[in-house]
Amino acid sequence: QAIKVLFYDFKAREVVANESAALDLYQSDDGTAEQQAHWWINALREALSKVSKAIRQTTIAVGVSGQQHGFVPLDADHQVIRPAKLWCDTSTAPQCDTIIERLGGLPPEVGDGGVMRVGAFGERDAGGAQRDRGGGAQYGYPDDIRNAT
């Protein structure tokens, strides 16, 4: 996994910079798959530092797409309070099974083994399609990129 940055020159219609920085991933045998939220910021800074300041200075728009799906718990002051759960975390499968059972079980068309319980994000069918939609894009400001260190 990595954070990637790409700079595109619309007038020239070409990519003028494309850099990345690796991300660590914590996984364990119980299905846990997590990352520290600050790792994302650090990797973004590292990737941006590989792009020349001259290119960063030309930034007029920024679009940021993050981890496919993730859960970053915050406190009342919007501070991160624990590692971010990733889309592939299955550590809460037993709790998901209990919820499904209490709600009357799976619909007949799903059958046995047709659902993968995913930590914080609902369920996926056997083909990997998500049943509950989530996630979204985040946006930054060009000045944040132009002045990145």
Positions in the chain whose pLDDT score sits under 70: 64-68, 110-149
All residues at 6 or more sequence positions from 43 whose CB lies less than 8 Å from its CB, including other chains? 2, 3, 21, 22, 23
pLDDT at 135: 39
pLDDT at 46: 95
- The pTM score is 0.64
83-123: pLDDT as tens digits:
999 888 889 888 988 988 898 887 777 666 555 555 544 44
Cα Dmax for the chain:
60
pLDDT at 113: 59
pLDDT at 80: 92
